[in-house]
Structure 1
Amino acid sequence: MTEVPGQADGVPSMQVTLSALEHHAYCPRQAGLILLEDGYADDASTVRGTLMHQRVHEPGHETRGAVRTLRALPVWHDGLGLAGVCDVVEIHRDGRIIPIEHKSGSYQAGGPADVQVTGQAMCLEAMFGRVIRQAMVYSAADRRRHTVTIDATARQRVLTLADEVRHTLASASLPEAVADKRCRRCSMHDMCMPRVLARKETVQRAATNLFSPQPEAAWDD
């Protein structure tokens, strides 16, 4: 892991939540608005997600056959400075441990949900002392589970994004607006104003005209 602010002796002292990793993987500015300005806005998609998660975020467990299912399980990895909550964790009799992240929308391979569930797997490995090679993302829109491979590339992506989140927190500065197709699906569009802020030259020129001292002659009638 690279040295980042909030890190001592290779152990991060600044904890990053797994949900922050997901937001940052989708859009660094979105994560910055949530983490630095306590900003958040709902739309139909986020409300659907909240309602769906209410069903899996009630702590509990059950055993059916060879599988024990845990719900709303808090997880953490002190060595990596990660923490979060797993929607569902299946513990199989053969020793397999499978975290299952629930999403209301369609699944995107390699998307932010993969980052979040990989982080969950890394935390579970530290807690249970077992290697986890696969996780799942359940998509309500697709009505099926999608397998996520927990390999070296996926693990490094989690570590890299966690470092980037720490840099955002340490610098207390919002990442730049991206102003691309992601913005159309973002509930925080109005708060972010991506199209306005992406026009740097226009914004800078307007700010200069507004705040720069005017010559005295300009005030004369």
Structure 2
Amino acid sequence: MSPGADQIPVPLSALEHYAYCPRQAGLILLEAGYADDVNTVRGTLLHQRVHEPAEETRPGVRTLRALPVWHDGLGLTGVCDVVELLDDGEVVPVEHKSGSYKPDNPADLQLAGQAMCLEERFGRAVPLGYIYSSADRRRHPVAIDAELRARVIELADAVRAVLTDTVLPGPVADKRCRGCSMNTLCMPRLLADRKLYRRQLDLRFRPTPESDAWDD
């Protein structure tokens, strides 16, 4: 199955990108723009294992890796890193991240989106998920509460608006930019300062004496 035909599908990963920075999400979704740094490479290496479809069984739990999920009503689609199916019927998503974990961060929204998709797939409530941080090698519990669910729906609509309008959101030009691997592609400080931007355009596209001679 796929998301409803009347909706543009929103990737679950885009929820996290948009929550961190709308422009970052726009560059990825509209221009296929992406740049690696040490953190993104570390994340790619971490996900090589969990992104290989696999199934493991041990007493009390069945573990699924790289599980495709979707939510027709919300138009969400993506892949869960790890989903644990417990013997009592509980369904638990586990999202793997390479960096350290901070509560109430954008990764929680991606996890919540996964939980909502899993509820549609398995027909069971998914009230809890985990973010696994490779930095401290721990699982951090995340309650999939009403507030987080509402935020997922809000962000899905915002991402879909970017995909529909095909207009890049403006740059934020704040402390987030220092740690973003896409800083060079985005040019946040230049674009956020309209006077500087116009001055740079004038310098680069000012007619030269040779072009003036051609005009004569």
**TM-score when normalising by structure 1:** 0.88
AA partner of residue 121 (structure 2) = M
AA partner of residue 33 (structure 2) = G
Shift of 1:133: 0.5
In 1, Cα distance between equivalents of 2:201 and 2:154: 35
Please state if 1:37 is matched with 2:27.
no
Aligned length, in residue pairs: 206
**Aligned to 1:153, what secondary structure does the other structure show?**
helix
Identify the residue that residue 18 of structure 1 maps to in structure 2.
Answer: 12
**Aligned to 2:141, what secondary structure does the other structure show?**
strand
AA partner of residue 154 (structure 1) = L
* Structure 1 residue runs without a partner (length 5+): 1-7
**Aligned to 2:36, what secondary structure does the other structure show?**
coil
Shift of 1:33: 0.5
The partner residue of 2:80 within 76, 86, 110 is 86
**Aligned to 1:85, what secondary structure does the other structure show?**
strand
The partner residue of 1:177 within 165, 171, 176 is 171
AA partner of residue 118 (structure 1) = A
Shift of 1:202: 2.6
The partner residue of 2:70 within 56, 61, 76 is 76
Shift of 1:142: 1.6
AA partner of residue 28 (structure 1) = P
AA partner of residue 23 (structure 1) = H
Shift of 1:201: 2.8
The partner residue of 1:143 within 116, 137, 146 is 137
Deviations 1:64-106 (A, max 9, x none): 1101100000000111100000000001111111000000001
In 2, Cα distance between equivalents of 1:87 and 1:186: 23
1:93-104 equivalences in 2 (<5 Å): 93-104=87-98
Task: Report the CA distance shift for 1:12/1:80 in structure 2 as closer, same or farther (over 3 A).
Answer: farther
* Structure 2 residue runs without a partner (length 5+): none
**Aligned to 1:98, what secondary structure does the other structure show?**
strand
RMSD over aligned Cα, in angstroms? Answer: 2.0
**Aligned to 1:138, what secondary structure does the other structure show?**
strand
Over 6 Å off, 4+ runs: 208-213
Please state if 1:59 is matched with 2:53.
yes
In 2, Cα distance between equivalents of 1:206 and 1:50: 36
Identify the residue that residue 152 of structure 1 maps to in structure 2.
Answer: 146
The partner residue of 2:193 within 191, 196, 199 is 199
Please state if 1:110 is matched with 2:95.
no
Deviations 1:129-176 (A, max 9, x none): 000100000000021000111011000110101111011111111111
Deviations 1:93-128 (A, max 9, x none): 111110000000011211111000100000000000
In 2, Cα distance between equivalents of 1:35 and 1:192: 13
Say whether the 8 Å CA contact 1:12–1:79 is kept in structure 2: no
AA partner of residue 103 (structure 2) = A
In 1, Cα distance between equivalents of 2:203 and 2:49: 53
Identify the residue that residue 119 of structure 1 maps to in structure 2.
Answer: 113
